[in-house]
Amino acid sequence: MATDYCSIPSTAHQDPELVSRKSKSENTIVSVNGIPIGGKEVIIMAGPCAVEKEEQLVQTARIVRAGGAAILRGGAYKPRTSPYSFQGLGLEGLQMLERAKKETGLSVVTEVMDTRQVEVVAKYADILQVGSRNMQNYPLLKEVGQYPKPILLKRGMMATIDEYLNAAEYVMAHGNPSVILCERGIRTFESSTRFTLDLNAIPLLKERTHLPVIVDPSHGTGIRTLVSPMARAAVAAGADGLLMEVHYRPEEALCDGSQSLYPDDFGLLVEDLRKVAEAIGRSIFKLKK
């Protein structure tokens, strides 16, 4: 039986195919409840880092809906560096997301960390997020590749563009064509920011793949005052969407409060983004009432 793969030389370079512009020249538009991700309109996704309690989630959801977001983000399962940090509310958090969705009409993106969680998360979420630390968790990529839900695949903090495209290829090769890429900061020597948000990835990815590319300036910088300028820059560089942390009371957040936008700042930022989008011939997507 070894003969099957013995013919594959170990040095063979396997280029990603399904994700490549060479195999499909026009942009892929991932549709989420009628929201077209990857088209002419730029999509705003916003919400708290973690789902903490119903009041926090629903109030924040209303704020981001009013401010211009189309999709609500919020983690029910949280990857935390320390085992002693808040690990997320799990199923209870998913149910809160469902209620917030009903209240506001926003679609929901939330993270899945374990192959055994995919089924339950897929029941509640409109988009399944695979986080930076799991970008090369191949069993997870294969598993989400088999679900009929769009995947938001974050770039690993130490992943090259090549490795990133190969990770997306895993999802597509297992049957799921709806992959949204998301630059979220890479690790460099610079320590003034938590990560170095790499906007070069936007035009680079756009050249090589037909998949939508969005940017997370909140995790990508880790500093509240950098979120707005970097969000504007991401749109100017060609991003198809933004994923941002907004909290109704940042100073009370259980995680990442220092990078969450205040409600008012979020509204002002979306106004700015509208102007930048228009300057390059695009617009910000708006949910109908």
Binders of its own copies in range 150-179 (CB under 8 A): 156-158, 160-163, 166, 169-170, 173-174
213: tokens are: 């590319």
Name the residue nearer to its own copies (CB basis): 25 or 191.
191
SS3 260: coil
Stretch that binds its own copies, among 13-21, 98-106, 120-128, 261-269 (CB under 8 A): 13-21
Tokens 């880092």: give the residue. 49
Binders of its own copies in range 17-46 (CB under 8 A): none
Beta strands 241-245 and 213-215: pairing type? parallel
Name the residue nearer to its own copies (CB basis): 16 or 35.
16
CA-based nearest residue to 14, from 140, 150, 180, 166 = 166
Stretch that binds its own copies, among 32-40, 60-68, 261-269, 273-281 (CB under 8 A): 273-281
Binders of its own copies in range 50-109 (CB under 8 A): 52-53, 56, 79-87, 92
* Cβ contact 60:253 at 8 Å: no
Other beta carbons within 10 angstroms of residue 195's beta carbon come to: 18
Task: Choose, by CB under 8 A, the member of 43, 70, 152, 199 that binds its own copies.
Answer: 199
Q: How far apart are CA 81 and CA 105, in angstroms?
A: 33
Tell me how far, at minimum, the Cβ of 22 lies from its own copies, in Å: 16
Tell me how far, at minimum, the Cβ of 133 lies from its own copies, in Å: 4
Q: How far apart are CA 74 and CA 48, in angstroms?
A: 5
Tell me how far, at minimum, the Cβ of 124 lies from its own copies, in Å: 18
Q: Does 283 bind its own copies (CB under 8 A)?
A: no
The DSSP code sequence of 24-36 is --SPP-EEETTEE
Tell me how far, at minimum, the Cβ of 245 lies from its own copies, in Å: 12
- Amino acid making up residue 2: A
Tell me how far, at minimum, the Cβ of 77 lies from its own copies, in Å: 8
Tell me how far, at minimum, the Cβ of 108 lies from its own copies, in Å: 19
Binders of its own copies in range 100-129 (CB under 8 A): 113-117
Q: Tell me how far apart the 2 most distant CA atoms of the chain are, in Å.
A: 63
